[in-house]
């Protein structure tokens, strides 16, 4: 499995072993914890690498 190079230093601190692909990623945390910021960083890096993205934001109550 290959791993996506992440261009944001703060994200490399959170995921030092990078993001494996192909894969699906689910991020679950309380509101306001930065889930969208992390998701946008993944999408940005993936698109920069020439990939395609499908994002499905879910809100469960």
Compute and round to an integer the Cα radius of gyration of the chain.
12
pLDDT in tens, 13-47: 877 778 787 887 777 888 888 888 888 888 888 89
pTM: 0.66
Confidence check: pLDDT of 5 > 80: no
Strands (E) in 1-61, as ranges, are: 2-4, 19-21
Distance, CA of 56 to CA of 44 (rounded, Å):
16
Distance, CA of 16 to CA of 6 (rounded, Å):
9
């Amino acid at each position: 499995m290959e791993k996506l190079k992440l261009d944001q230093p703060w994200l490399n601190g959170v995921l030092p072993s990078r993001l494996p692909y192909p894969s699906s990623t689910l991020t679950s945390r309380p509101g306001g914890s930065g889930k969208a910021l992390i998701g946008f960083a993944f999408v940005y890096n993936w698109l920069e690498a020439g990939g395609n993205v499908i994002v499905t934001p879910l809100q469960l109550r």
